[in-house]
Every structure is written in C-alpha cells, then in structure tokens.
Amino acid sequence: SQKIEQNSEALNIQEGKTATLTCNYTNYSPAYLQWYRQDPGRGPVFLLLIRENEKEKRKERLKVTFDTTLKQSLFHITASQPADSATYLCAPIGTGSNYQLIWGAGTKLIIKP
Amino acid sequence: DAGITQSPRHKVTETGTPVTLRCHQTENHRYMYWYRQDPGHGLRLIHYSYGVKDTDKGEVSDGYSVSRSKTEDFLLTLESATSSQTSVYFCAISDLGTSGGNEQFFGPGTRLTVL
C-alpha cells in the first residue's frame, strides 16, 4: 500500500542554523509534492509545491528538493528562526486526482534561541 | 486567509448520538474536503465534494455521511458517534482540486470528543 513517512520525532535546531526535514514515500509515484505548515490548534497552510520534473524549488528561506529515484523530498529552512517552529506536513499528489488521499504525519520542528 | 469557517469549534457528545459539523466557505471554490487528524497519523480524507450534490468517499468514510446543497456549505454527519471518532476534523477547499498540484486551504478545525 502507499505510504508516506516523515520523521515522527521532533527536530530541535539552534536558531540561525539550517533545518532539514525528510519525506519518504513508497508504492507511489507522485507527480507533485506539497509542503504545508501547521501551527498548534490551526489548520495546515500551504508553503511550496514541487513538480516531479523539478529537482529543486526555492521560496525565500525555504528550499524543497524532489528525488523521484530515491522517492524522497527534503525540506530546508535556512537561517532558522524561533517563529519557524511548527509541524511541517508533506503531501504527495498523483496525476489526475482531485483529492489528496495521502498525507505524511508531519515533523515537529523546534527552533531554539 | 481564505474564508473558511467551521462550526462548532469544539464539541463533546455521547456515544450513539448524531453529530453534524459544518464547513462554510466564501471563496466560491468548487472542491471541498473533510479530513480527520489523529496523533501519529497524517490527515485522512473522509469525504470530498466536487460540486453541489456531488460527493465521493475518501479513505475513512465508514460511519460518516456528507451533504452539499450549496456551493458554500459542506456538512459532515456522524450518524451515531463512537469513541473512535474522537478527533480533530478539518475542512479544506480548493478551486481546481488537487490535480496539477493546486493547493488546499484549510479551516480552523473542530475538536470532537465522543464520551
């Protein structure tokens, strides 16, 4: 069955360093992969989309990579700040689908001052 | 922020009682989704709608029904609530669906506790 794995343990990073989160998927060939941010008590908020033919995508301090051979996406936050502390969800999307069936459980990121 | 509201925001109910959660949007988006989120699990799709009166099942639809009589409203009903349905429920909307990688906009969530 299709499976999405994100590190279930919280990731603690010192302020100013680069945080790297991992999303691995199996039995799945997504055409796109999205990353969302979720703060406690709130709904997820879209951050970035990367397509299968894109190796890397950047938005301000955020960078996402997509390796279809390794079946993995990496999400980087450079120059991290305490305000970046949140849970980050990855969501691979297949082609021709109008609904998002599978989501990663998310990785909690804690940026320490 | 996308105009999505959910009501109620919190609810405590007893096993066996019917419960209806409401999602209301002001964005005129075609697609609407109901998810549940539990610790250690990713968001799981319950039902979704691709237009007025057009709905389909998601991964965890057993025990849930939905209705969409207007573009702006998507109702989720638990016919007879069970303790396993204790969860946080999120509504999401999307103008073009997820095809093409279109993003979803999420509501604030409803925390439901079934005793």
- Provide the CATH number for the domain around residue A73: 2.60.40.10
Ordered alpha helix ranges (H), chain A: none
Q: Tell me what the mean pLDDT of segment B57-83 comes to.
A: 96
Tell which of A46, A100, A103 to mutate to test the B interface (max B CBs under 10 Å): A100
Structure tokens belonging to residue A19: 């945080």
Inter-chain touch A99–B107, beta carbons under 8 Å: no
Distance, CA of B83 to CA of B100 (rounded, Å): 37
Residue by residue, DSSP assigns B53-110 as TEEEE-TT-TTEEEEEEETTEEEEEESS--GGG-EEEEEEEESS-SGGG---EE---E
Q: Provide the shortest C-alpha distance from residue A4 to chain B (in Å).
A: 9
* Among the ranges given (A15-19, A29-33, B3-7, B87-91), the one the predictor scored with the smallest mean pLDDT: A29-33
Inter-chain touch A98–B58, beta carbons under 8 Å: no
Number of domains in chain A: 1
Residue B71 clears pLDDT 60, i.e. is over it: yes
Q: Which residue range forms the structural domain that includes residue A93?
A: 3-112
Q: Compute φ and ψ for B38, nearest 5 degrees.
A: -125, 150
List the CATH number of the domain containing B39. Answer: 2.60.40.10
Residue B98 · residue A93 · CB < 8 Å: yes
Inter-chain touch B43–A96, beta carbons under 8 Å: no
What is the C-alpha R_g of chain B?
A: 13
Q: Provide the shortest C-alpha distance from residue A61 to chain B (in Å).
A: 20
Residue B1 clears pLDDT 60, i.e. is over it: no
Cβ contacts (< 8 Å) between B40 and chain A: which residues? Answer: 8, 105
**Beta-carbon contacts below 8 Å between A and B:** 70
Residue B17 clears pLDDT 60, i.e. is over it: yes
In this complex, is the C-beta atom of A10 within 8 Å of any C-beta atom belonging to chain B?
no
Q: For A4-29, what is each residue's pLDDT tens digit?
A: 999 888 999 999 999 999 999 998 88
Number of domains in chain B: 1
Q: Which residue range forms the structural domain that includes residue B21?
A: 4-114
